[in-house]
């Protein structure tokens, strides 16, 4: 069935050509949803056509409205507010539209083909020396949702992770374990692997601060003390040993990273995110060095007298940037160059989306500019999805001081909070114990994911766990409860022997409004994919649920005496439930069938 947007767009072009003798091949038509305070379904801004009509905006709008009404049976009326033409779609169109999608469980989704654009989404990016924390939660949820939405918009999607598994920070944990562990392991300590290694990262920082304190007390300045630190010198030596492939250092590195990865995998599974490919910086930094060598030949980079390698971006409005240290060791940008190049070879992507916090905005400006200067055509497809930091009511987190909110602890707190509130509200009657526990998990994780994803990624946000587990308002549990209510209604309809059918010829206003909201779903997916903004899908779902609840409150469904109207309302409820389920799937959120 042709969309009403396409019908209106074609009719407007026809009108402009017929009325004003204007070619319409490149004519852009802006069709918006009519604002609630005005009558109509869709609004056309007519100001762009005034130069062709040589008439006032109101007169131009009336001419266009009359033409479109006569041209399209799908338009039943129009009205003009200044330079805006509001069109009301015939109820018969909405009924036929609902019929056309009623059996489509994948409504809103576009299946990609082998020729569809290829979009790679990088998210997570943890260090292999500590557990995932609250910041990683937002990163993972945004990245996973962006990937889901991009695929639903018809793209071939590759989900990738980059693990920062090398560098001085990793050596700090390794040195700390070597000095103070006494040989304990995650198994012997009973700690999850990433928590276990993270403990030694914090322990290193504790001993380092004590050492600095003693050095400063001996009369050194803070800067001098840092240079005299034996602990930091040992960590730097361990990094040099790692880069020279010292057997003992490599063995310890592999062992401790293995502990961390086992812990990460448990966290990713609980969070409901996954990856098609995991890259490791230890496997890309050497490639990055080769790219630096190539860049020196191309004169993109230059070498200073101390043998360090730099790029001068001052003519591009940026600074000079170090790409290789004087001792030949790589920096972050070096390995990022190698990783980006390797990905281009592995997947031939059209777009590479980096989901990384806004603290790294400058870094990615530099990275993308260097890639372009090196002559990589695919560099124009690189995009930094810069998201704002997430904080708790208590304030910021500091991983080195051990004050971070770990992802595992946060997810467990969400499940516990869901359990407490659900019991308080008495929403678990007739639930078996195991079924109730699964419901708490579904509600708790749904609350966490929705609360984070409903906020535009670019904005900084404050996360309040208890506020997110609310069964009223713009929350995950409120939407989940509406879905469960619809499932209950459909189950009772089957039990009563009622069918769902679309045999009506007229519908009420709130029914039409609900169908119109369902109609918007594919365009919301498309816009969300184009802007890398899952919040559009999240808030659309909330608006859909509000629309449904208004319909459900005002109209009888199962108690409706007219069998055709009753069947129609059952069918409308079923389709609404399907769209809620599809929308939440895009966000990685489960919907229960009963609550």
**Cβ–Cβ contacts within 10 Å for residue 365, how many?**
15
**Cβ–Cβ contacts within 10 Å for residue 533, how many?**
21
pLDDT of the residue at 403: 53
Contact 532, 352 (CB under 8 A): no
Contact 464, 391 (CB under 8 A): no
* pLDDT score of 426 more than 80: no
Least confident of 138-142, 409-413, 537-541: 409-413
The CATH code for residues 4-89 is 3.30.1360.70
Chain segment 343-377, per-residue pLDDT in tens? 999 999 999 999 999 999 999 999 999 999 999 99
Chain segment 436-469, per-residue pLDDT in tens? 899 999 999 999 999 999 999 999 998 887 788 8
Q: Give the integer Cα–Cα distance in Å for 371 and 164.
A: 21
Q: Helices marked H in 284-405 — which ranges?
A: 285-297, 332-347, 361-373
Q: Give the integer Cα–Cα distance in Å for 11 and 17.
A: 10
pLDDT of the residue at 423: 82
Interior/surface letters 137-172, b for 16+ CB within 10 angstroms, e for the rest = bbbbbbbbbbbbbbbbbbbbbbbbbbbbbbbebbbb
Contact 529, 155 (CB under 8 A): yes
pLDDT of the residue at 427: 64
Specify the domain boundaries for CATH 3.30.1360.70 within the chain. 4-89
**Cβ–Cβ contacts within 10 Å for residue 385, how many?**
23
* Average pLDDT value for the chain: 94
Q: How far is CA 69 from CA 76, 516, 543, in A?
A: 7, 19, 29
Q: What are phi and psi of 253, to 5 degrees?
A: -60, -45
* pLDDT score of 1 more than 90: no
* pLDDT score of 190 more than 50: yes
Q: Give the integer Cα–Cα distance in Å for 26 and 45.
A: 17
Could you tell me which residues come within 8 angstroms of residue 120 by beta carbon, excluding any fewer than 6 positions away?
Answer: 157, 158, 159, 160, 343, 347, 349, 351, 352, 353
pLDDT of the residue at 400: 44
pLDDT of the residue at 595: 81
Contact 409, 444 (CB under 8 A): no
pLDDT of the residue at 579: 98
pLDDT of the residue at 395: 53
Q: Give the integer Cα–Cα distance in Å for 255 and 184.
A: 12
Proportion of the chain above pLDDT 70, given as a percent: 98
Could you tell me which residues come within 8 angstroms of residue 578 by beta carbon, excluding any fewer than 6 positions away?
Answer: 105, 107
Interior/surface letters 408-441, b for 16+ CB within 10 angstroms, e for the rest = bebbebbbebbbebbeeeebbeebeeeebeebbb
pLDDT of the residue at 398: 46
* pLDDT score of 488 more than 60: yes
**Cβ–Cβ contacts within 10 Å for residue 306, how many?**
8
Contact 74, 93 (CB under 8 A): yes
Contact 131, 266 (CB under 8 A): no
Contact 293, 283 (CB under 8 A): no
Specify the domain boundaries for CATH 1.10.730.10 within the chain. 407-586
**Of the candidates 87, 39, 267, which has an alpha carbon nearest to the alpha carbon of residue 163?**
267
Chain segment 372-404, per-residue pLDDT in tens? 999 999 999 999 999 998 887 765 444 444 457
Residue 290, token pair as written in the block: 């080769």
Parallel, antiparallel, or unpaired for β 320-324 and 309-312?
antiparallel
pTM (predicted TM-score) = 0.93
* pLDDT score of 324 more than 90: yes
Helical (H) or strand (E) element with 248: helix 247-271
* pLDDT score of 519 more than 70: yes
Q: Which fold has domain 407-586?
A: Isoleucyl-tRNA Synthetase; Domain 1 (1.10.730)
Residue 92, token pair as written in the block: 């018969």
DSSP state of 394: T
Q: How long is the chain?
A: 595
Average the pLDDT over 208-213 and give the result.
Answer: 96
């Amino acid at each position: 069935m042709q969309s009403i947007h396409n019908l209106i767009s074609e009719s407007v072009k026809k009108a402009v050509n017929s009325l004003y003798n204007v070619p319409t091949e490149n004519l852009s038509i802006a069709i918006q949803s009519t604002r609630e305070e005005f009558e109509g379904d869709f609004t056309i801004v007519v100001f762009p056509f005034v130069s062709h009509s040589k008439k006032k905006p109101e007169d131009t709008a009336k001419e266009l409205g009359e033409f479109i009404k006569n041209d399209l049976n799908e338009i039943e009326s129009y009205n003009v507010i200044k330079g805006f033409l509001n069109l009301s779609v015939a109820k018969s169109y909405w009924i036929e539209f609902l019929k056309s999608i009623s059996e489509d469980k994948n409504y809103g989704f576009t299946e990609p083909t082998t020729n569809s654009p290829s979009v790679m989404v990088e998210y997570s990016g943890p260090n292999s020396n500590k557990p995932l924390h609250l910041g990683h939660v937002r990163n993972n949820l945004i990245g996973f949702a962006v990937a889901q939405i991009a695929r639903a918009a018809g793209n071939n999607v590759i989900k990738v992770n980059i693990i920062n598994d090398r560098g001085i920070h990793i050596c700090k944990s390794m040195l700390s374990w070597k000095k103070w562990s006494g040989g304990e392991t995650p198994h012997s300590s009973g700690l999850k692997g990433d928590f276990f290694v993270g403990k030694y990262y914090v322990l290193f920082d504790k001993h380092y601060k004590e050492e600095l304190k003693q050095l400063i007390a001996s009369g050194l300045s803070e800067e001098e003390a840092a240079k005299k630190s034996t602990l930091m010198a040992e960590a730097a030596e361990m990094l040099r040993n790692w880069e020279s492939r010292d057997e003992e250092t490599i063995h310890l590195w592999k062992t401790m990273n293995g502990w961390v990865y086992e812990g990460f995998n448990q966290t990713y599974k609980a969070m409901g995110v996954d990856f098609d490919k995991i890259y490791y910086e230890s496997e890309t930094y050497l490639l990055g060095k080769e790219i630096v060598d190539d860049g020196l030949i191309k004169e993109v980079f230059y070498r200073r007298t101390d043998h360090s390698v730099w790029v001068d971006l001052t003519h591009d409005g940026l600074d000079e940037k170090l790409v290789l240290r004087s001792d030949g060791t790589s920096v972050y940008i070096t390995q990022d160059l190698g990783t980006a190049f390797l990905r281009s070879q592995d997947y031939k992507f059209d777009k590479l989306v980096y989901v990384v916090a806004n603290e790294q905005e400058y870094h990615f400006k530099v990275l993308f500019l260097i890639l372009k200067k090196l002559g990589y055509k695919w560099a124009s497809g690189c995009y930094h999805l810069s998201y704002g930091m997430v904080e708790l009511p208590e304030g910021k987190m500091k991983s080195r001081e051990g004050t971070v909110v770990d992802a595992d602890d946060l997810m467990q707190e969400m499940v516990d909070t869901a359990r407490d509130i659900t019991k308080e509200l008495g929403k678990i009657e007739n639930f078996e114990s195991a079924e109730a526990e699964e419901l708490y998990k579904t509600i708790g994780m749904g609350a966490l994911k929705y609360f984070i994803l409903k906020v535009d990624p670019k904005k900084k946000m404050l996360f309040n766990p208890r506020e997110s587990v609310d069964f009223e308002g713009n929350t995950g549990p409120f939407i989940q409860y509406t879905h469960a209510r619809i499932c209950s209604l459909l189950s009772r309809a089957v039990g009563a022997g009622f069918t769902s059918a679309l045999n009506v010829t007229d519908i009420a206003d709130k029914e039409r409004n609900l169908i119109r909201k369902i109609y918007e779903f594919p365009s919301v997916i498309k816009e969300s994919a184009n802007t890398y903004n899952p919040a559009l899908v999240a808030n659309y779902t909330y608006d859909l649920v509000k629309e449904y609840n208004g319909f459900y409150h005002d109209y009888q469904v199962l108690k409706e005496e007219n069998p055709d109207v009753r069947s129609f309302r059952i069918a409308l409820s079923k389709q609404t439930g399907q769209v809620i389920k599809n929308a939440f799937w895009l966000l990685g959120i489960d919907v229960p069938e009963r609550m």
